C-alpha cells in the first residue's frame, strides 16, 4: 500500500472532505485487515492535517490498532442505562489497555427527546466528566442520512451542528497552538488542554 493506492480509493465530497469509504460488501470488508489499516494511517497523516476514523463499536484487532495510533478518542454514549453500562465496560477496557484518561473525551448524544439520565447522573456513575453534550436533533440527522445530504450542509445553523462545529473549532485551535509550541509539551500538552478546557 502506497500513496498512489490510497489516492485511487479516496472519494472527494463536495464539502471539501476527502473520504476513504467503508467496503461496499461484507465479502470485501474481510480484506481490510489490521495490517492494512496500520499501513494506511501513516500515509493519511502525511497527506492531511486532520484524520478522523469512524470505527465500529468493538475492540477488534483492527480497532485496537487504530486506538493505539490515535491522538484523541471520542467516545459517544446515549443518556440511558444500557448505554451507561456499555460505556462503563468500555472505560474498564481502556483502563486495562493502559489508555490514559487524557486521551479520551466522552460525548453524550441526546438521541431521545427526553433523557432517561441527566448529565450529572452519567458523570457520577462513570466518575468522568462529559466533554461534549449533543442536543436532541429530532429527525434531522436521520433525514439527512436517508437523503444522503449531511445535516451540516443542509442546515448549518441547526443546534446539533453548531454544537459539533464549536467543539471541532475548539479542538483545532488547541492543537494549532500546541504545534506552534511543540517544544513545550507537544501532543500530550494539547490533549490535556482540550480535556481541561472542555471540563471547565
Rounded to the nearest integer, the mean pLDDT of the chain is 85
Sign of the dihedral defined by the CA atoms of residues 100, 102, 103, 109, in that order? positive
**Which stretch of 11-20, 28-37, 128-137, 168-177 has the lowest confidence by average pLDDT?**
168-177
The reported pTM is 0.78
Report d(CA 155, CA 164) in Å as an integer: 13
Q: Which residue has the cell 445535516?
A: 151
Coil vs helix vs strand at 192:
helix
* Number of Cα atoms under 13 Å in the Cβ half of residue 109: 13
**Local structure of residue 80 (DSSP, 8 states):** S
User: Around Cβ 155, how many Cβ atoms within 10 Å?
Assistant: 16
Tell me the percentage of the chain whose pLDDT exceeds 70: 86
| DSSP H or E run through 196 | helix 186-199
As given in the structure block, the three cell numbers for residue 62 are: 483492527
Sign of the dihedral defined by the CA atoms of residues 127, 131, 136, 140, in that order? negative
pLDDT in tens, 137-177: 989 999 999 998 899 999 999 999 999 999 998 888 766 66
pLDDT in tens, 70-102: 989 999 999 999 999 999 999 999 999 898 888
Amino acid at each position: 500500500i502506497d500513496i498512489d493506492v490510497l489516492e485511487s480509493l479516496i472519494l472527494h465530497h463536495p464539502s471539501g472532505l476527502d473520504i476513504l469509504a467503508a467496503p461496499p460488501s461484507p465479502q470485501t470488508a474481510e480484506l481490510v485487515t489490521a495490517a492494512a489499516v496500520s499501513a494506511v494511517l501513516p500515509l493519511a497523516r502525511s497527506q492531511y492535517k486532520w484524520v478522523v476514523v469512524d470505527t465500529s463499536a468493538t475492540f477488534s484487532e483492527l480497532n485496537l490498532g487504530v486506538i493505539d495510533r490515535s491522538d484523541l478518542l471520542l467516545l459517544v454514549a446515549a443518556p440511558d442505562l444500557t448505554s451507561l453500562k456499555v460505556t462503563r465496560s468500555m472505560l474498564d477496557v481502556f483502563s486495562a489497555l493502559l489508555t490514559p484518561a487524557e486521551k479520551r473525551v466522552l460525548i453524550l448524544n441526546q438521541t431521545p427527546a427526553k433523557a432517561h439520565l441527566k448529565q450529572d447522573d452519567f458523570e457520577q456513575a462513570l466518575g468522568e466528566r462529559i466533554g461534549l453534550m449533543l442536543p436532541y436533533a429530532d429527525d434531522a440527522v436521520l433525514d439527512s442520512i436517508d437523503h444522503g445530504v449531511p445535516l451540516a450542509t443542509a442546515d448549518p445553523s441547526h443546534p446539533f451542528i453548531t454544537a459539533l462545529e464549536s467543539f471541532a473549532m475548539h479542538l483545532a485551535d488547541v492543537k494549532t497552538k500546541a504545534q506552534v509550541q511543540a517544544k513545550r509539551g507537544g501532543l500530550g500538552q494539547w490533549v490535556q488542554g482540550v480535556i481541561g478546557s472542555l471540563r471547565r
